């Protein structure tokens, strides 16, 4: 596009795909992190691949300036999402997600854990923009996380670093889907809370909301002490739905538990991208892999 000041480069876009147990979303995201188009379909428990094809059909033909495809998906997975086995998508066990999507969309395709994707998105244009050391968490049906340390997203040996939902916060607590007991996910996820109270998490009492906030704060304190991470941004329907009472309790527990000098001032904030987080995060996965 020619401008008065010279020639401005064209806006690069990313095809972003968010794969979840309840819905699949796809969108076009600019290199400024703006979502230009989006589509969504519910995830069929029996045939998730058809849902993925359907959401891309719904999004329509791709513009010619789309440079790459970024995908966020629930874990666990193999490095780069070559195969995925999301706990909440039962037909996919060792499913070859990255190559399947690449063959479908005919673009360079990059896959990462959805919570790690969110961390990249929050560090790009969200509540952690410009921060070099932070954790992003999702407290929703499950609990996930991604950690950026020294400006780099942590991958780990199997690319599952940051799985904060399986830090034990209640010794000998509730049975967790991972096989352990008392994990944050078993105690403070939407599913865990619903099991505890025998009703949907959205109906939880103030006491339950405070308890969930405290347990999240306890997990965050462990991460803050271990990795010297002063900022955690929290997204997800449970955290955001529980609101101030949850965030105040989380912050109080963090302050109480992380007492070593370098964690003074460690904070928990609401994530900044809201409902756009998953798609912006998926785009950020492509962007990061292209070296942007």
Q: How far is the C-alpha of 185 from the C-alpha of 144, rounded, in Å?
A: 8
Q: Which stretch binds Zn ion (CB under 5 A): 109-117, 164-172, 213-221, 269-277?
A: 164-172
Closest to Zn ion by CB, 19 vs 183, is 183
Q: Does 215 bind Zn ion (CB under 5 A)?
A: no
Q: Can residue 163 be called a binding residue for Zn ion (CB under 5 A)?
A: no
Q: d(Cα 137, Cα 241) in Å, to the nearest integer?
A: 15
Q: How far apart are CA 284 and CA 229, in angstroms?
A: 21
Comparison of 59 and 77: residue with beta carbon closer to Zn ion: 77
180 binding Zn ion? (CB under 5 A)? yes
* Total residue count of the chain as it appears in this document: 292
Q: Which of 178, 227, 252, 290 binds Zn ion (CB under 5 A)?
A: 178
Under 8 Å between Cβ of 72 and 273: no
Find the part of the chain contacting Zn ion (CB under 5 A) among 26-34, 116-124, 126-134, 162-170. 162-170
**Shortest gap between Cβ of 182 and Zn ion (angstroms)?**
8
- 28 versus 176: smaller Cβ distance to Zn ion: 176
Q: Which one, of 262, 267, 241, 263, lies nearest residue 252 by Cα?
A: 267
Least distance in angstroms from the C-beta of 175 to Zn ion: 9
CB of 228 to Zn ion, least distance (A): 25
Q: Rounded to whole angstroms, how far apart are CA atoms 202 and 154?
A: 32
User: Up-side HSE of residue 40: CA atoms within 13 Å toward CB?
Assistant: 10
Candidates 55-63, 80-88, 101-109, 163-171; binding stretch for Zn ion (CB under 5 A) = 163-171
**Residue 76, preceding bond cis, omega within 30 degrees?**
yes
Min dist. Cβ of residue 91 to Zn ion (A) = 22
- 287 vs 290: CA distance, rounded Å: 5
Q: How far is CA 142 from the centre of its chain?
A: 11
Q: Taking CB under 5 A as the criterion, which residues in 93-122 touch Zn ion?
A: none
218 binds Zn ion per the rule CB under 5 A: no
Q: How many residues bind Zn ion (CB under 5 A)?
A: 5
CB of 170 to Zn ion, least distance (A): 11
**Under the criterion CB under 5 A, does residue 183 sit at the interface with Zn ion?**
yes
Using CB under 5 A as the binding rule, whether residue 160 contacts Zn ion is answered as no
Angle in degrees, CA 12, 123, 241, rounded to 5: 110
Task: Provide the 3-class DSSP secondary structure of residue 72.
Answer: strand
Shortest separation between residue 161's beta carbon and Zn ion, angstroms: 16
H or E segment to which residue 131 belongs:
none
176 is an interface residue for Zn ion by CB under 5 A: yes
Q: Can you tell me which of 98, 166, 211, 287 binds Zn ion, judged by CB under 5 A?
A: 166
Token pair for 217 = 């704060």
Contact by Cβ (8 Å): 213, 242 = yes
Least spacing, CB of residue 53 vs Zn ion, in Å:
32
Interacting residues with Zn ion (CB under 5 A): 166, 176, 178, 180, 183
């Amino acid at each position: 596009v020619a401008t008065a000041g010279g020639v401005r480069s064209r806006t690069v876009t990313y095809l972003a795909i968010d794969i979840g147990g309840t819905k699949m979303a796809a969108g076009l995201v600019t290199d400024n992190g703006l979502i230009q188009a989006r589509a969504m379909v519910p995830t069929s428990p029996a045939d998730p691949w058809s849902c993925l094809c359907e959401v891309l059909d719904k999004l329509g033909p791709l513009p010619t300036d789309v440079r790459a495809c970024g995908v966020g998906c629930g874990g666990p997975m193999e490095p780069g999402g070559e195969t995925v086995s999301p706990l909440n998508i039962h037909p996919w066990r060792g499913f070859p997600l990255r190559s399947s999507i690449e063959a479908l969309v005919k673009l360079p395709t990059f896959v990462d854990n959805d919570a790690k994707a969110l961390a990249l998105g929050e560090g790009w244009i969200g509540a952690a923009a410009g921060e070099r050391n932070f954790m992003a968490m999702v407290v929703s049906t499950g609990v996930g996380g991604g950690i950026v340390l020294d400006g780099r997203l942590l991958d780990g040996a199997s690319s599952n670093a940051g799985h904060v939902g399986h830090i034990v916060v209640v010794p000998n607590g509730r049975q967790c889907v991972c096989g352990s007991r008392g994990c944050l996910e078993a105690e403070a996820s939407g599913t865990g809370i619903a099991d505890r109270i025998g009703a949907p998490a959205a109906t939880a009492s103030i006491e339950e909301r405070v308890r969930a906030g405290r347990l999240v704060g306890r997990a965050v304190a462990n991460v803050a002490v271990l990795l010297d991470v002063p900022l955690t941004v929290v997204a997800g329907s449970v955290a955001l739905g529980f609101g101030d009472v949850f965030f105040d309790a989380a912050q109080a527990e963090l302050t109480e538990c992380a007492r070593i000098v370098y964690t003074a001032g460690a904070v928990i904030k609401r994530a900044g991208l809201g409902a756009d987080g998953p798609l912006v995060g998926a785009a950020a996965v492509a962007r990061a892999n292209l070296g942007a």
